[in-house]
């Protein structure tokens, strides 16, 4: 497992019975997590002193219970990057801290590429990967279908001092955007893709990631440059294992460009136990030496 262990202002303090106890720059939240099926003792006293608890509803969704008044948003830092944290009605905070292990990986490749790198970030959410790549010196096209998420990402870029970097902020359907880029003849040296488990197509049809991921990767391969650097595919879909994603990248990308593929779970350390909470999977194609 690849572990995001370089955080200074974020911690998982403890986990038990479907919930994780987290510190976000000193604000302590309790959120549900379906991976936490163990019923171990609650070792941290902070369970009783959490600032906010998200209660899931039997009817779907849920709501926050705040034990003390928190600001509407606050900032958390990761190295030179700053992110605005906001507890939302869907339990999320606007940031997936486990992705930091991928941010570091991509930034290192970009800094050592010896040339300018253009990155296409699809399903880009609030811009963690966008900011990491831009801070490392890449040009980035940030694409997400949610106008609110793109605006949130722009605010994170401003907070991180990256507003002047060459980032294109695009509110668009990711697959439709890629198909238009193919027609335009525009190319990218790297692709980051973090699609949702479920979504809706251009005509409103419901699609499942397992059914669509191969075609999506194949379509995206059409915008890779003649000298691509990497293709990173991330998933939180439990039915899509790292090995399956690796097989897809090998079949589609290695067939065109050679190179190699690695895949593994990503996770976050748990302070109370010294164990690691699995938080999704990532498969990465890299250019060969």
One DSSP character per residue, 9-20 reads: SEEEEEEETTEE
Burial class for 18, CB neighbours closer than 10 Å (0-12, 13-18, 19+): middle
Vertex 244 angle, CA 19 and 129, to 5°: 60
Contact 82, 109 (CB under 8 A): no
Counting Cα atoms < 13 Å in the Cβ hemisphere of 25 gives 16
Q: What is the pLDDT of residues 61-95, one digit of tens each?
A: 899 999 999 999 999 999 999 999 999 988 999 99
Locate the DSSP E strands across 88-241: 118-122, 139-144, 167-171, 190-193, 198-200, 206-208, 230-235
Could you tell me the strand order of the sheet in which 230-235 lies? 2-3, 260-269, 276-286, 230-235, 190-193, 118-122, 139-144, 167-171
Residue 269, both tokens:
């350390």
Task: Give percent above pLDDT 90 in the chain.
Answer: 88
DSSP assignment of 107-124: HHHHHTSSS--EEEEES-
Check residue 265 and give its pLDDT.
97
Q: What is the pLDDT of residues 228-286, one digit of tens each?
A: 999 999 999 877 899 999 999 999 999 899 999 999 999 999 999 999 999 999 999 99
């Amino acid at each position: 497992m690849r572990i995001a262990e370089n955080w200074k202002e974020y911690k998982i303090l403890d986990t038990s019975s479907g919930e994780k106890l987290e510190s976000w720059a000193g604000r302590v939240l309790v959120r549900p997590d379906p991976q936490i099926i163990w019923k171990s003792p609650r070792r941290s006293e902070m369970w009783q002193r959490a600032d906010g608890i998200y209660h899931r509803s039997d009817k779907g969704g849920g709501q926050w219970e705040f034990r003390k008044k928190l600001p509407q948003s606050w900032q958390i830092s990761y190295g030179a990057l700053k992110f605005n944290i906001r507890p939302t009605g869907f339990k999320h905070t606007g940031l997936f801290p486990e992705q930091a292990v991928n941010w570091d990986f991509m930034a290192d490749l970009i800094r050592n590429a010896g040339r300018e790198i253009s990155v296409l970030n699809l399903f880009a959410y609030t811009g963690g990967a966008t900011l990491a790549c831009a801070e490392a010196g890449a040009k980035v096209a940030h694409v997400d279908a949610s106008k609110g998420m793109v605006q949130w990402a722009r605010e994170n870029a401003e907070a991180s001092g990256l507003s002047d970097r060459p980032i294109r902020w695009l509110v668009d359907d990711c697959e439709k955007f890629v198909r238009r880029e193919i027609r335009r003849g525009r190319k990218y040296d790297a692709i980051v893709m973090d699609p949702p488990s479920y979504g809706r197509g251009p005509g409103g049809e419901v699609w499942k990631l397992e059914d669509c991921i191969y075609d999506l990767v194949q379509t995206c391969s059409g915008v890779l440059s003649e000298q691509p650097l990497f293709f990173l595919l991330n998933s939180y879909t439990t039915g899509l294992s790292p090995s399956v994603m690796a097989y897809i990248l090998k079949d589609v990308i290695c067939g065109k460009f050679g190179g190699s593929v690695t895949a593994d779970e990503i996770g976050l350390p748990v302070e109370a136990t010294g164990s690691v909470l699995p938080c999704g999977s990532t498969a990465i194609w890299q250019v060969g030496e």
